[in-house]
Amino acid sequence: MKNNFALEETLNSLWDKLAGWLDAFILKLPNFIMAILIMVLFYFIARSVKKILQKILLYRVAQKSIQNISVKIVFIVVLLIGFFIALSVLGLNKLLTSVLAGAGVLGLAIGLALQGTLSNTFGGVVLSFMDKIRINDYIETSEAKGFVSEITLRNVVLRQTDNNYVIVPNSKFVDNSFTNYSISTRSRIAVKCSVSYESDLQKVEDLVIRIINENFKQEEGETVEFFFTEFGDYSIGFMTRFWIDMIKIKQEHDARHKAIKLIKSHFETEGIKIPYPIRTLEFGKNTFDTKYENDNQENI
């Protein structure tokens, strides 16, 4: 009798608990349906934001990997917002607080462990939106120079003029200065030379300015500059500066190559000498006596 009574009491307690859960479920059913609707709604919102962001990044960011990761991050963030709102509707505020606290601690631990990597990652995102560095631009840093071949979330790939590739961490670009030769279409270069002390300096100046003006078009506001720079041991040095079209370093080499050939050719025609150092070595009359001693040598 006692066993039957205990079993019946247990079953009644279990039934009461199940009935309580059923009542709680029925009472929470509207909230549960609302939470599901919120998640579905935010899913479609995330998809719409993803499509809009893809169209924006298509014209703003040249690197495909940056486009993909940016779109995914925004998509996940929108879904997380919907998830937290759904938890709040279900009345799971304590769970929400625990999740946020756990996420904060986990994020801090990951941030400390991957500090360098995250710095380069955020640097890649920043660089992808900068209009001062683009694919195929010729740039120079304190460590390397070359054409921008690729911008990833970790580094920038530079293709050097010898067709070798240099991998530079993104943090180097974000934290330090770099020179971009491809932003402006015009640049000024300098060509240095020297003439002998017997030369007519005014004639040299007029000739060089005329040569450069005739062969290198100077736009409005640009002029050919000429300066004598020093009294050397064998010559008087000078420098001329002028403007050229330049978005690649090869254009600078081509222009300087052409200018040097023209200056030398016209100097030869006009009889203007470009001196070079001459060393005269004088040896006195010395007598060298060489003796070979083979007294203690053995032939084998």
Please give the Cα distance from 190 to 202 (Å, whole number).
19
Q: Does domain 2-113 have CATH number 1.10.3470?
A: no
- 297: pLDDT strictly greater than 60: no
φ, ψ dihedrals at 267, nearest 5°: -65, -40
What's the whole-number mean pLDDT along residues 251-278? 91
100 versus 200: the higher-pLDDT residue is: 200
**Per-residue pLDDT tens digits for 34-62:** 888 888 888 888 888 888 887 777 666 66
Residue 191's SS3 state is strand
Alpha-carbon span 251 to 248, nearest angstrom: 6
Evaluate if residue 200 carries a pLDDT over 60. Answer: yes
Instruction: Pick the more confident residue, 106 or 271.
Output: 271
Q: What is the pLDDT of residue 3?
A: 52
Kindly give the pairing relationship between strand 138-140 and strand 225-231.
unpaired
**% of the chain with per-residue pLDDT over 70:** 65
In the prediction, which pLDDT does 204 show? 94
Query: Residue 111 belongs to what H/E stretch?
Result: helix 93-113
* Mean pLDDT on 78-106: 70
- Asked whether the predicted pLDDT for residue 254 surpasses 80, the reply is yes
Which among 277, 280, 278, 275 has a CA at the least distance from the CA of 198?
Answer: 275
Q: Does residue 207 surpass a pLDDT of 90?
A: yes
Average pLDDT of 196-222? 93
Average pLDDT, the chain: 77
Look at residue 225 in the predicted model and tell me its pLDDT.
Answer: 95
186-270 has which CATH code?
3.30.70.100
**Residue ranges of the domains in the chain?**
2-113, 131-180, 186-270
Overall CATH class of domain 131-180: mainly beta
Buried b (16+ CB within 10 A) or exposed e, 189-207: bebebbbeeebeeeebbeb
Strand, helix or coil for residue 145: strand
Average of per-residue pLDDT across 124-142: 73
Q: Using CA atoms, how far apart are residues 266 and 258, in angstroms rounded to an integer?
A: 12
